[in-house]
Amino acid sequence: MLRKIIEIDESKCDGCGDCIPSCAEGALALVDGKVKVVRDLLCDGLGACLGTCQKGALTVVEREAEAFDHAAVEAHLSTRARHGAPPPAAARSTPGCPGSRPVELTPAPAPRRGLAVVQGDSPAPPVRVAVGGSRLSQWPVQLELVSPGAPYFQDADLLVAADCVPFAYARFHDDFLAGKRLVVGCPKLDDNQAYAAKLEQILTRGSIRSLTVVKMVVPCCGGIASAAQQALQRSGKAIPYREITVGIEGGVVA
């Protein structure tokens, strides 16, 4: 079948192996000093490994390849584990791109409510402001970069947000993000079917407790909700699903 898959330029690959642990499916291996795709059916083609290569040897191409096979991946990972191989997609202390390496973060305490006065020639009425920090609990957040096997997806409430939402909705961290794991994306600019496939992997491999989608009111943004719904249906999981729509002026409209 014609599909997206990782291609490695051996002329650029220096055999450092930094990309290997970033592949949650274990599709990459060092062979004769060069990284290679072990078998086509183990590679999902979503490119979580791309940001780890300092030489730019990895790209996503579209070519004839075996279909990605979840069962084959599980069997491959089980075989690796029996032979003592470290689990893929684990956070490491060795150098690599932080854009795709799974990292647990400590969310800031809930913002405090305070009063701020606008300075001017005449007293201004006080306005309430939030004093606090980020509620983000993991990195990365881009859907194309996250690893479906990352430990932070275990026993998690998953928030899928369109890229524009945090800019339009001022209280995004407090009202939507607090207590949840986050993935973000833009269905207009990226491959929405790839989004659906990645979300399906997260739902299948992680023990997700609930799924919330926050999108913008513009029609093209409905694609991210569609991807989440497809993923949930294909995963066979029966978990609570919620969908929230934010207007371009910043309020919740549905």
Predicted confidence (pLDDT) per residue in 185-220, tens digit: 998 888 888 899 999 989 988 899 999 999 999 999
Tell me the per-residue pLDDT of 134-175, one tens digit each, with 9 for 90 and over.
Answer: 899 998 899 888 878 788 899 999 999 999 999 999 999 999
What count of other Cβ atoms lies within 10 Å of the Cβ of residue 119?
7
214 closest CA partner among 202, 28, 250: 250
Q: Which long-range contacts (CB under 8 A, 24 or more apart) does 114-118 make?
A: none
- What pLDDT does 91 receive? 38
Burial class of residue 17 in the structure, from the number of CB atoms within 10 Å of its CB (0-12 exposed, 13-18 middle, 19+ buried): middle
Residue 96 has pLDDT above 50, yes or no: no
- What pLDDT does 101 receive? 59
Mean pLDDT computed over every residue of the chain:
83
- Work out the pLDDT band at 226, boundaries 50, 70, 90: very high
Query: How many Å apart are CA 82 and CA 146, to the nearest integer?
Result: 26
8 A C-beta contact, residue 38 and residue 68: no
Tokens of 117: 């006065």
Query: How many Å apart are CA 227 and CA 242, to the nearest integer?
Result: 14
Tell me the per-residue pLDDT of 75-93, one tens digit each, with 9 for 90 and over.
Answer: 888 887 777 666 665 434 3
Residue 115 has pLDDT above 50, yes or no: no
Torsion, Cα 19 42 203 154, to 10 degrees, reads -50
pTM of the model: 0.59
Query: How many Å apart are CA 64 and CA 7, to the nearest integer?
Result: 12
CA–CA distances in Å: residue 196 to residues 33, 46, 101: 35, 11, 21
DSSP H stretches of helix in the chain: 70-82, 165-168, 172, 192-205, 222-235
Query: How many Å apart are CA 157 and CA 205, to the nearest integer?
Result: 14
End-to-end CA separation in angstroms for the chain: 40
Domains delineated in the chain: 2-82 (3.30.70.20), 103-246 (no CATH)
Residue 214 sits at the vertex; the CA angle it makes with 114 and 143, to the nearest 5 degrees, is 110
Measured in degrees and rounded to the nearest 5, phi and psi for residue 188 equal -80, -35
- What pLDDT does 102 receive? 63
Query: How many Å apart are CA 210 and CA 242, to the nearest integer?
Result: 8
Between 85 and 58, the higher pLDDT residue: 58
Measured in degrees and rounded to the nearest 5, phi and psi for residue 91 equal -65, 140
Query: How many Å apart are CA 221 and CA 241, to the nearest integer?
Result: 17
- Work out the pLDDT band at 120, boundaries 50, 70, 90: very low
- Work out the pLDDT band at 125, boundaries 50, 70, 90: low
Residue 131 has pLDDT above 50, yes or no: no
